[in-house]
Structure 1
Amino acid sequence: MEDASVLDDARLTRYARHILLDELGIEGQERLLAARVLIVGAGGLGSPAALYLAAAGAGRITLVDDDVVELSNLQRQILHAMASLGRPKAESGRDALLALNPDIQVRAVVERLDEARLRVLAQDADVVLDCCDNFATRHAINRACVATCRPLVSGAAIKFSGQISVYDLRDADAPCYHCLFPEADDVEELRCATTGVLGPLVGMVGSVQAAEAIKVIAGMGEPLVGRLLSVDALRMQWHTIRFRRDPDCPVCARRGPAAAAFPGG
């Protein structure tokens, strides 16, 4: 069986524009080809994130979503088309990613994951993307990434506002999602279905998530660790807020030593 990370002539041509980047180069592209990516959510954020990671040659993508494609999704969820109406989003997304890049592997997981299952999938990934739309799932993903020392790229978007951050749980000093957004029962949660969201906004946020995941995989640049990047699309203003690990965080305060450097399991 051919090594998934080998750059043959076809791959050298396909990924040439990435290979030309000194910061990424052949070594970074080989890391991408060998990478295991878990994407939770195949909707507004997961669509651009998954498409760009598939186009970049992320070798094995696991796409998780228990929902089906509805007509109201198509205003922003560009992974799906009219022909996908009524289909599970994970399966529709898998087919779209393979149509874009048959050189990769894509697994569709059509289920609502409990914490045990999330931990298993996170353990099998090199990087996890939180592209879901509710706090409960975000916190469950965070706990799974803390438990398995997996880097987490989290994004959110509602109305005209979006935000992205990276929680690199391989670093014992890095904050987790709970450090920035403590879990609480009285948090008011806004949903796109009742509040609305600008279509291109989720594309902006999801694309940044893909870029951050590529940086983490390739080991280049400065990922958004300890920084929350926010965007106001109505005024088209970007802001960065720095934050630190909460030493008393109930989720990550007692986590073990950092995992080995990327890539690794």
Structure 2
Amino acid sequence: MISAMRIERACADAWPAQVDEPLGEWRLRAAGGFTGRANSALAVDDPGLPLPDALASVCDFAHQHAIPPMLQAVQNSPVERDLPRFGWRPCEDHAAGNDVAVLLGPAVPRGGDPRGTGRPPTTEARPDAEPADHRVEVLAEPLAGWWELTIGRSGPTDAERAVLTGGDAVGYGLVHGPDGARAAVRGAVADGLLLVARLAVRPEHRRRGLARALMAAIGTWGGRHGASACVLQVAADNAGALALYDRLGFREHHRYRYWVPCEDRAL
């Protein structure tokens, strides 16, 4: 049984912040405001301090790095249950959604091509099937088209580059055809787990199997880099994504939320 603690720590390694400092077994993270995961304290297990002192340290670290204080906590964990007593509340206005489902599934998704070509299954004929004029690859370095699909620009900021290219084993899945990049995804392996993130498909190429093709390709790549399972983090209200991943064999393992102080003493 893979614990939530192991998954969250592996995800932190696979999605590295520019600054990552230990606080006991917590991790204080900052990356110029790029994503909640890289700009929050990961609160799993024991911070080595009484909780009020640990929360004060989270605020001090955030102020030092010019980001709002924020905590990432597993839902219904002992830490999360205690946060309201010390003046913290769920960050309900978090841009990407504050109720995040962490899904666990096979390294190579169900229905993926075990030969690793990245092609979607062909047992069903679909009227909107993608013409066979594209390539699915997992690259060692991100191309301009990959950046455009994942961040909306051909060049990243320093913080975006640090987070999205950091890690010990990172692959950049890309589907490209005559019209350029059509779909992209990021995969990173840490502690035997493959974290898949930033899956994006251009609107005119959606519902044509490209997401499945990328998941198969990045899963095969992850298996070659030692991953025995795959982790996804999806907003709990994203019904379309959850339905896709359910078909690929993923199941919810746990959830997490972001928490912020009701009153920031630095303001």
Task: Give the structure with the larger helix fraction.
Answer: 1
Task: Give the structure with the larger strand fraction.
Answer: 2
Scaled to the shorter chain, the TM-score interval is: under 0.3
What is the TM-score of this pair, normalised by structure 2?
0.27
- Of the two, which has the highest radius of gyration? 2
What is the TM-score of this pair, normalised by structure 1?
0.27
